[in-house]
Amino acid sequence: MQLSLAGWSLCRQFIQDRRPLTLLDFPKVARRRFGIAAVELNNVFFADTSAKYLRELNRRAKGEGVTLLNIAVDEAYDMCSRGWLGRRAVNAYAWWISVAAELGCSAIRANSGGGQIKKFSSGDLRACAENFAALAARAKPYRVRIVMENHWGLSSCPERMLKVRRLAGGCFDFLPDFGNWPEGTDKYAALSKIMPFAKAVHAKIKDIAADGSHPAFDLGRCVQVAKASGYDGWLGIEYEGKGDADTGIRRAVRELKKYL
């Protein structure tokens, strides 16, 4: 495994009022500030999606020797919806497929949705599977893979994620996140269930103490779960601590390298 950097790690810098970080500068920041040579983009940080803008982002990434891995897409529409609402959700995510292809990204992350559903029925799971299958079909000609992250809603339960994938015929993959599990969930057992179908991984990082400890959960154990599954892809640092992001990312690099 090699380390990459998820753009969300620097979300506060992207949205700050004074001299915000731009997506065009993100590859340079990843390489020069943190020594990381691969990044995950977030659709909410794109200032533009014109051909000119995408060419410039590609040019800058290549100039820094940085690989653009995937785009984490956040949309307001629910992939658990049925009928025209489901089609609307698929269309909203599908719009980013050509953007990913133009940038040479191998995947886009789509959320499962279902955040407003308290008890999931078989119909909800089937609707989600049908929508993901439709989205995957749209992505196939571009050679872009669809990935579902354990990102709340339906995907807060590994068994539901696996059921939806089976119903969809295995046409999409997972983006396991070390930390995105509800309280009371055995993080390591849940992670082990979805890791065999991982296309990418988020190494969720809360605040790391100066001594290297990570009180939120055992990072080393999560890496071992990933290794045990046979995963050998990118391990994307996604810092979500309350402290300084630069410090948090540097500590994450230092500690994760020990396990790799």
Q: Which of 140, 69, 76, 159 is nearest to 111 (CA)?
A: 76
Residue 227: which pLDDT band, with cuts at 50, 70 and 90? very high
Q: Given this model, what pLDDT does residue 167 score?
A: 98
Burial label for 65, CB within 10 Å (0-12, 13-18, 19+), is exposed
16 dihedral zone (left: phi>0; alpha: psi -120 to 50; beta): beta
Q: Give the Cα separation of 119 and 128 in Å (integer).
A: 14
Residue 240: which pLDDT band, with cuts at 50, 70 and 90? very high
- Note the pLDDT tens digit of each residue in 167-194: 999 999 999 999 999 999 999 999 999 9
pLDDT score of 118 more than 90:
no
Q: To which CATH superfamily is domain 2-259 assigned?
A: Divalent-metal-dependent TIM barrel enzymes (3.20.20.150)
CA atoms within 13 A on the CB side of 148: 33
Single-letter residue type at 181? W
- Give me the residues paired with residue 71 across strands: 41, 108
Once rounded to an integer, what is the mean pLDDT over residues 226-249?
97
Q: Which of 161, 150, 144 is nearest to 102 (CA)?
A: 144
